[in-house]
Structure 1
Amino acid sequence: MTAAITACRACGGETLRPFLSLGKTPLADALVRPDDIDAAEQRFPLEVAFCEECTLVQILHDVPPQTLFVDNYLYFSSFSDHLLEHSRAHATNLITSRGLGEDSLVVELASNDGYLLKNFAEQGIPVLGIDPAPDQAAVAIENGIPTLVEFFGVEVAQRLRAEGKQADVIIANNVMAHVPDLDSFVGGMAELIADDGLITVENPWVHDLVQHAEFDTIYHEHFSYYSCTSVHNLMRRHGLFLNDVEYFPDLHGGTLRWHCGPVEDVSDRVREFTALEEAEGVTGFAYYADFGERVQANIDALRALLIERRAAGRTIAAYGAAAKGSTLLNASGIGTDLLDFVVDRNVHKHGLMMPGVHVPVRPTEALLEEQPDDVLILAWNFADEIVAQQAEYVRRGGTFLVPVPTPAELQQAVQSPGGSNVGGAAEDTQTEALS
């Protein structure tokens, strides 16, 4: 069952203006077992709207979090080398800049398999992970990362405070988008953070999502899509301040890391980003008004590209059995008629099928075993990493295709949607100030 949203999940405003509908799609991470191929799959409306009062972009139908993140969640962070490097750099910087030590406490919300917290634990810094996904939490606990297997909110924060726990640092990477009850989530961070503590939040930037037509990053697990302006408004309602921002153009199609805390100390970078959003119209509905038309043009172009290559007798596979791939395939109507299989490094997905379209998921070794003529990179946010890993596939004559911002054959030195140079080894993630 889904709940229709009529008021903004952040500010309660009732001026929500829809601008994109991807129809009814299956849950993006609900991969199908072969034994269940004939069973009916649930599909839910996937519509997106803009709040004219606080500028938050959000979906209009909520699937219960238990269904999304406990019953059907197979994402393990440790399968991405690029993400591991990014996370380790983040942890190292925090240890140095915050002077963290054995008397500190670092709390990560949506800690997954402990991929980030292990960097602190290795230095003897106390950590606590909080994540409702049981399989991922079990891996973290097995690896020595204390983890609470539950959803985070005000009640959890109050309980931890009652136990004498206060966080010097709270990290929330790619989770605030996954939260339907933002009041409880952000209120919980305000409750748990120390008076001089730091909260860092990472999520893709809605500015880049729209600019690069990244419609496949929209799915039911992502309740909200953030700008600096909407984060500023959200934090202020809970007594927190957006004090700094970092930009990672190569991560997830363009990611921002917001630095927040109970003490106001706003940097020039925050002012620059919010000024840019105002100047480019990110804070108004007109910025989003034609997004649906642009997405449909992308879908039509992608189908035409695959149909043309299939008609020429080419074999086509895909890389990345992730949620964005599910959205792209279902919204575009791309199934086994155009794709032979999908490969993924995540062993938990092998032998299953993509939701809705039922394209089988195989290990990455299948690319060399089958040597398809083309591989559509569904996980385009890790294109550098994928191309580097699959150098032998390319050497044998294989061709990569990318679906966004414009469906095309990937050539050496072509720029990826996030701005990185695709075709060589994955570059180190760099923090860039707005220029």
Structure 2
Amino acid sequence: MNCRHCNTGLEYVFLDLGIAPPTNAYLSKEELAQTEKKFPLKLFVCHNCWLVQTEDYSKSDELFTKEYAYFSSVSSSWLEHASRYSKMITDKLNLNTNSFVLEVASNDGYLLRNFVAAEIPCLGIEPTDSTADAAEAIGIPVRREFFGENSARKLEQEGKKADLIIGNNVYAHVPDINDFTKGLKVALKPGGTITLEFPHLLNLIKYKQFDTVYHEHYSYLSLYTVSRIFQQAGLKVYDVEELPTHGGSLRVYGCHEEDIKETTSAVRELIEEEQEFGMQDLPLYLSFQSEADKITHSLTAFLMEQKQKGKTIGAYGAAAKGNTLLNYGNIKNDLVSFVCDAAPSKQGKYLPGSHIPVLHPSSMNELKPDWVLILPWNLEQEITKQQSQVKEWGGNFVVAVPELKII
């Protein structure tokens, strides 16, 4: 296998999490009796461009199906994040009724709703029917397709070039990152701006966030590598912000290479920080597997100990990262009895691999577990606040990443 960006042969394994089903492939009761699709979940690091990437097995249309169950609007904190961004970028770029905003992977309209409300023309690109339906229901125009150079060319032929292209948590999800980036180049107006948000690889390594690895994430990105990918496509990263979302993300600002936009000191400083952290040296990557193993063994031992004591264990948040953690630890419904989640699309279904039933949040009050394992640790504060009644019956919260912590 060769690097998806620079075509260098891949020799070095960053992380091997065995064989696992796609993390968002939630199961109906009838599907429990059927054989699940499972794929190797292994990451390599390219020693030339330092792109960390999954092994080639699963295809995007097998992961992002019409039943895809991730709806962005379920998280109140994410909706607030999108609202703040929309106001900020509208003011920054002086967007108005004559502008055109394009969002790639627009999901259920969690973000474009803000532009619709401001009467700024916009379009979402979203391949999954379930989320596209939800967006269209609130008045957001959507094209149901995967984005790349071909889809950008079609927009170009229709005279549609964007003043702003937005891609939140999609850049890591595309199997052909070069084609996707070429599409950004084609779809962007001269003088236009691209903003992409994605989890920062530095934080994944620093805070041992191995559970953010899943098949849908083809790439794990540093600013250095993203700058290289942009440059090859005739684009440049001219600014960057560090965000707290998803355990630590970057928001990069991009433009045409020929545009007169000066690169900020923030870009240079962050690339230097990455280099000092060791992100252009192999030892950092080759030592990561042992960190994932320690976390998994610690959680499994804790759950088994509590079970032996007769304690009941539930979970909150049927998140993709939770499925990675549970499946790598071979944690099933005999250890964790249920998981509550606010997303109607997941309720009544079962987690892939572990087959833990997904219940409505109100079930927490009925079942009153002794322990609640918070799977989306990045929403720890939001969840403990929403489910504060757990403390009333003597229950406790626990998170596993970056280390086992009782809250």
Q: Same fold (TM over 0.5)?
A: yes
Select 1:259's aligned residue among 253, 260, 263: 253
1:71, distance to aligned residue in structure 2 (A): 4.4
Task: List per-residue Cα deviations over 1:22-47 (Å, max 9, x = no partner).
Answer: 00001111111111212111211011
2:304 matched to 1:307? yes
Q: Which range moved further: 261-270 or 75-84?
A: 261-270
Shift of 1:408: 2.1
Decide which of 118, 129, 138 is 2:124's aligned counterpart: 129
Is 1:237 matched up with 2:232? yes
Whether the aligned pair in 1 keeps the contact of 2:14 and 2:52 (CA below 8 Å) is: no
Distance, in Å, in 2 between the alignment partners of 1:61 and 1:162 is 33
Report the equivalent of 1:414: none
Give the 3-state SS of the residue equivalent to 2:286 in structure 1.
Answer: coil
Which segments of 5 or more consecutive residues in structure 1 lack a partner in the other structure? 1-5, 411-435
- The alpha-carbon deviation at position 61 of structure 1 amounts to 2.4
Letter in 1 for 2:252: W
Query: Contact 1:8–1:16 (CA<8 Å) still a contact in 2?
Result: no
Quote the residue 2:324 is aligned against.
327
d(CA) in 2 for partners of 1:303 and 1:408?
13
Show CA shifts across 1:61-106 (max 9, x none).
2311111112451100000001000011110001101000000001
Report the counterpart of residue 342 of structure 1 in structure 2: 339
AA aligned opposite 1:253: G
Inter-partner Cα distance in structure 2 for 1:45 and 1:142: 37
Contact 1:46 1:61 in 2 (8 A): no
Q: Any conservation in 2 of the 1:344–1:362 contact (CA below 8 Å)?
A: yes
Superposed displacement of residue 15, structure 1: 3.9
- How large is the Cα RMSD of the aligned pairs? 1.0
Match of 1:176 in 2: 171
Equivalent residue letter for 1:192: A
How far apart, CA to CA, are the structure 2 residues paired with 1:282 and 1:394? 42
Larger displacement relative to structure 2 (259-268 or 291-300): 259-268
Letter in 1 for 2:279: V
Give the Cα–Cα distance (whole angstroms) in 2 for the partners of residues 396 and 92 of structure 1: 42
* Equivalent in 72, 95, 111 of residue 100 of structure 1: 95
Match of 2:370 in 1: 373
| 1:256 aligned partner, one-letter code | L
Is 1:9–2:4 an aligned residue pair?
yes
Partner of 2:349: 352
Instruction: Note if contact 1:341-1:359 (Cα within 8 Å) is conserved in structure 2.
Output: yes
Percent identity, aligned pairs only, is: 40
Q: TM-score, structure 2 length as denominator?
A: 0.97
Alignment of 1:157 with 2:152, yes or no, is: yes
Q: Secondary structure of the residue that 2:365 maps to in structure 1? A: helix
C-alpha distance in structure 2 between counterparts of 1:396 and 1:126, whole Å? 51
Q: Superposition pairs for residues 211-290 of structure 1, below 5 Å?
A: 211-249=206-244, 251-262=245-256, 263=259, 264-290=261-287
Deviations 1:323-376 (A, max 9, x none): 111111100111112111011000111111111111111011111111101100
Which sections of structure 2, spanning at least 5 residues, go unmatched?
Answer: none
User: Across the two proteins, how many residue pairs are aligned to each other?
Assistant: 404
Q: Does 1:23 find its partner at 2:5?
A: no
Deviations 1:143-174 (A, max 9, x none): 11000000001111111011011100000000
Runs of 4+ in 1 over 4 A off after TM superposition: none
Query: Which amino acid letter does the alignment assign opposite residue 374 of structure 2?
Result: I
Q: In 2, Cα distance between the equivalents of 1:71 and 1:342?
A: 23
| Alpha-carbon distance in structure 2 between the residues aligned to 1:177 and 1:201 | 10
TM-score using structure 1 length: 0.91
Q: What letter is aligned with 2:105?
A: A
